Amino acid sequence: MTGGFNIRDSDWNPNYHHHSAHIEDLIAIADSLSLELSPPKNLGPTRFADNPCNSNSVLDLVFLAPNNLGFGKHSLLPEIQRPLDHVPLFINLGISEENINTVIQAIKKDSDEEKNFINKITSSIRNLNTTNITDKNSLLDITSQLSLAYEKAWTKYSKPKCIIKHSKE
């Protein structure tokens, strides 16, 4: 969570000697998201006052999960701030890739299991008695027998295979 929160407070601006009434709300929101204020590598103001009578301030903040690789590593870039009055913040976030592994049943191509599977299916088809298909019910019975033969052969010869992002197509 990052942005120009427009809250002046001594917790992040050592030149400001007061606590803001709004800091509790901001900290409560960050806490609800399990985030903490991430200090920049180079401390300094994030907003430069247009009026020389006003002081520069820290209004732009970064809140991250404390275990994030980017925590405490962002930088203020005042050298590229103009013509804006706010300093750009630069951060590399530690975002890990999400691995969603999928397990499927498969038979390896050109393996003994594939040959045995094909032989079992071929044998099951040959052994089906299709001479008495006279109505819808007899056709359903034959297709159920064929489906059961496929299921039994698949269960016997297939093996679980984990599909990951580096798997071949």
Q: 13-52 pLDDT, tens per residue?
A: 777 777 777 788 888 888 999 999 888 888 887 777 777 7
- On the question of pLDDT at 159 being above 90, the answer is yes
User: Which pLDDT does position 27 carry in this prediction?
Assistant: 85
State pLDDT tens for residues 58-73: 778 888 888 887 788 8
Measured distance CA(104)–CA(107) in Å, rounded? 10
> What is the CATH T-level fold of the domain 1-96, as seen in this structure?
Deoxyribonuclease I; Chain A (3.60.10)
User: Which pLDDT does position 96 carry in this prediction?
Assistant: 60
pTM score above 0.75:
no
Question: Is the separation of the CB atoms in 98 and 67 below 8 Å?
Answer: no
Task: Tell me where in the chain the CATH 3.60.10.10 domain(s) lie.
Answer: 1-96
What band does 99 get if pLDDT is binned at 50, 70 and 90? low
